Amino acid sequence: MKHVVACIDGSASTQSVCDYASWAALRLETPLTLFHVLDEARYPTETDMTGNIGLGSREALLEQLAELDQQRSKLALEQGHHMLESAKARALEDGVEQVNLRQRHGDLAESLHEIEDSMRLLVMGLHGEDTTRTNRVGSQLETVVRTLNRPILVAPEEFTEPKSVMLAYDGSDSSRKGIRLLAQSPIFKGLPLHLVMVGADTNDNHASIESAANHLRELGHDVRFEIRSGEVEPTLHAYQNEHNIDVLVMGAYGHSRIRQFLVGSTTTSILQTTNSALLLLR
């Protein structure tokens, strides 16, 4: 059975991540796995001393430093275990019946990739431990989004129970995937849905978004749609603010890496400016 997986890292977003993951697990009626990865670059399991033989007193100093690294790693693992236990207690209080704990030593993206097949939804915090005022997005978030082919729910620092959903629709494969998700998944069942296209209100665009809306209506969803002109990121946020939308759903990194380097990425821009939950589809 596939799980909702929540990345727990001790950042300011940790409680929010736990709450969004619990909400999703209850809506999807699936187990919750709380996942903590200890970065091996910061907390190595062992220090390589093979290149330092014969350095006399310096060798002894290096051995002491290696021991300190091992102690730091051990303490960090213990701290991670306590964070997981605390998050589990919170999830159980939220009503989740099955909560699993997993802890690994290594690279976050690689560790998540290894369990991707068992993952139905990944929940991560928008702000990681290394978030700064100039970099609002956790340094590993974009790497994870680019690595995995699973839906990723990005949580802000404070949890707001979703009561409305908006899909950024452009007729692309990822937005059509979003329509299928909204249509088939119980995660947004009973919530009002908004489809928003940023672009020219042509006959083709209108027919495309209306068809998507009608498909959702046939399955019992309350849907409204709109086409607006303007720049993508501010236009989407403006609509979201006007209608108090709790979750924005959009495709992630639809263009090639070279194109993103040349003209930037809507996904990155949205991540940098969003204040609400964001569901990214690959």
Instruction: Specify the pTM.
Output: 0.84
Widest pairwise Cα distance in the chain: 79
Domains and CATH numbers, the chain: 3-42+75-155 (3.40.50.620), 165-281 (3.40.50.620)
Angle, alpha carbons 103-105-111 (nearest 5°): 75
Is the Cβ–Cβ distance between 155 and 274 less than 8 Å? no
First to last CA, the chain: 21
What is the model's pLDDT at position 262?
A: 33
DSSP H or E run through 85? helix 57-94
DSSP 196: E
Dihedral angle at the C-alpha atoms of 71, 128, 6, 96, nearest 10 degrees? 100
Average pLDDT across each block of 10 residues of the chain; the chain has 282 residues. List them in order. Answer: 92 93 97 89 54 58 68 73 93 96 90 95 83 59 88 94 94 81 88 95 94 92 95 93 94 52 62 89 79
Distance CA 22, CA 161 (A): 11
Q: What pLDDT is attached to residue 261?
A: 38
